[in-house]
Amino acid sequence: MDTINNKELIGAIEKMKDEKTMEAQNKVIAEVLKAKFMCPVILQDAPKGGGKININKETKIQFSVIKTTNGKNFLIAFTSDEEVNKWQKNKTQQSIIYTFEDYAIIAQNNDNLEGFIIDPKGCNLIFTKNMIAQIKNSITRENVVKKDTQVELSVPKDISEDLQNKLHDVLVNNKEIKKAYLLNMLKEDEKSYLLIIDAAGKEKEYFNTIASALIPFLRDLPLNLLPINTEFGTKAIEKFKPFYEAIE
């Protein structure tokens, strides 16, 4: 199994429990989106005594769940081996490494699941289906604008200094990003940020990194990301200057 490190997430959760601020909560969400968790499972034909098993579409997976006092079933997301051992002292426990997106897909497609719990014997942080949906709605990683949809674009006038600085830092640290345009987008009476990036055809590789970093600073406005080499992206930037342009 790949090594995972969730120290930043655990630190963010501890800080949130002390401070109870929106900024601290958003930091936890940002770390959850970047994290990798161990999901305890029972795999068909798993090797005795632990070890690796190749998983394909034919592999039958039985998820371990926790049932709450009100009868709701939750998947389990462990941040470390230590947390696994708190829950079940079984050295041969099979686990699959999953991300937030993986848990979201499994929970939202299973009527018998209510969400997932991070470290039930530790921080015991619960993400219900409603919470998962809200998080996913707050960051639309790739925006698809249908033809003939009425869209208004403008330069953000009320963008916070914290958001500007964080976005600039993320862009600078990803050397393949050559240009980025940050705009306000009004589509069908819904306001959001639109970030169009130019990374020589590799734009989508950076969507998760950018979205995760910016969540604490978005102030409830969704963030849409779009490659520059799309019909809408190319047309959208005609009247605007880049928010960021790499120095050659």
pLDDT of 142-200, one tens digit each? Answer: 655 666 678 899 999 888 898 999 999 989 988 899 999 999 999 888 888 999 999 98
Q: Which segment, 1-15, 130-144, 205-219, 223-237, is predicted with the most confidence on average? A: 223-237
Position 67 scores a pLDDT of 92
Helix, strand, coil shares of the chain, percent, nearest 5, are 35, 25, 40
User: What CATH class is the domain 141-245?
Assistant: alpha beta
Q: Tens digit of pLDDT for each residue in 112-139?
A: 999 999 999 999 999 999 888 878 776 6
Position 92 scores a pLDDT of 61
Position 58 scores a pLDDT of 61
Share of the chain above pLDDT 70, in %: 85
Q: What letters, b where the CB count within 10 A reaches 16 and e where it falls short, cover 186-207?
A: ebeeeebbbbbbbbeeebeebb
How high is the mean pLDDT of the chain? 85
Is the pLDDT reported for residue 1 higher than 50? Answer: no
Position 196 scores a pLDDT of 95
Residue ranges of domains in the chain: 7-139, 141-245
| Residues β-bridged to residue 97 | 38
